């Protein structure tokens, strides 16, 4: 399969066969994440591969979250994850290590890029400084590689951004400073969903100047 086909064919799959994924296939798909680019090549992320059903069930519970609306909030139960994770045999938990990522902050006069958290901390001290790190972007690139490598193996995936991070960290004993940013289900699709619509290019892309 060529790359254009993989990009065009990828779907969010929310219903899976119970068929197990062999270690060979799983390792190959996971290696596509390892090969992903990251700022300064720091790779400031870790994936936890969860296959035990009892743990997947606990993580499904962490996806029952409250959804904020204009009129208040309502409980959002992701029905497909409740079974659990649409029976996907594998659930990936994407973790970021912000302190191992590139940090950019603004001193008020100039933007400073900092390769080490300690360097940033040295300058910022106890001052509140606006900063951002590349950690979640680096993780997202790695996970996107997985979504495409999975297609080549006949596997489907679904990103999950709606979950209770505190609960996921408790279930997997993830240390305090580590952020859980995305979950992702992986498995053989029970059916291949139809393509979702996309905005036209003119709405997304402009040339030379922003418009």
**Residue 64: CB minimum distance to ligand FMN, A:** 11
Q: Which is nearer to ligand FMN, 148 or 162 (CB)?
A: 162
Residue 120 or residue 182: which is nearer to ligand FMN going by CB?
182
Q: Tell me if 16 sits within 8 A of 86, measured CB to CB.
A: yes
- Based on CB atoms, which residue is closest to ligand FMN, 13 or 25? 13
**Residue 143 beta carbon to ligand FMN: minimum distance, rounded to whole angstroms:** 9
Closest CA to 58 of 33, 84, 30: 84
Q: Taking the complex as a whole, how short is the minimal distance between the CB of residue 199 and ligand FMN, in angstroms? A: 12
Question: Min. distance of Cβ 171 from ligand FMN in angstroms?
Answer: 17
184, 92 Cβ separation under 8 angstroms: yes
Q: Which of the 8 DSSP states describes residue 178?
A: P
Kindly list the residues in this chain that would bind ligand FMN in the complex (CB under 6 A).
11-12, 14, 78, 158-162, 182, 193, 196
Q: Which of 60, 137, 132, 124 is CA-nearest to residue 96?
A: 137
Query: By the 8 A CB rule, do 29 and 150 touch?
Result: yes
């Amino acid at each position: 399969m060529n790359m254009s086909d993989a990009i065009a064919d990828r779907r969010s799959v929310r219903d899976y066969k119970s068929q197990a994924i062999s270690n060979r296939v799983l390792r190959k798909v996971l290696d596509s994440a390892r090969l992903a680019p990251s700022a300064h090549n720091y790779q400031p992320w870790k994936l936890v591969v969860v296959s035990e059903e009892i743990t997947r069930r606990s993580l499904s519970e962490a996806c029952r979250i409250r959804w904020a609306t204009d009129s208040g909030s309502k409980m959002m139960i992701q029905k497909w994850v409740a079974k659990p994770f649409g029976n996907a045999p594998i659930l990936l938990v994407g973790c970021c290590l912000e302190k191992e990522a590139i940090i950019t902050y603004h001193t008020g006069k100039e933007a400073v890029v900092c390769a080490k958290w300690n360097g940033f901390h040295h300058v910022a001290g106890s001052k509140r400084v606006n900063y951002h790190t590349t950690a979640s972007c680096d993780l997202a690139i790695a996970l996107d590689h997985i979504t495409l490598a999975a297609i080549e193996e006949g596997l489907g995936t679904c990103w999950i951004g709606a979950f209770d991070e505190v609960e996921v960290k408790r279930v997997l004993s993830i240390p305090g400073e580590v952020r859980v940013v995305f979950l992702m289900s992986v498995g053989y699709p029970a059916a291949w969903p139809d393509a979702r619509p996309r905005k036209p290019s003119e709405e997304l892309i402009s040339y030379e100047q922003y418009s």
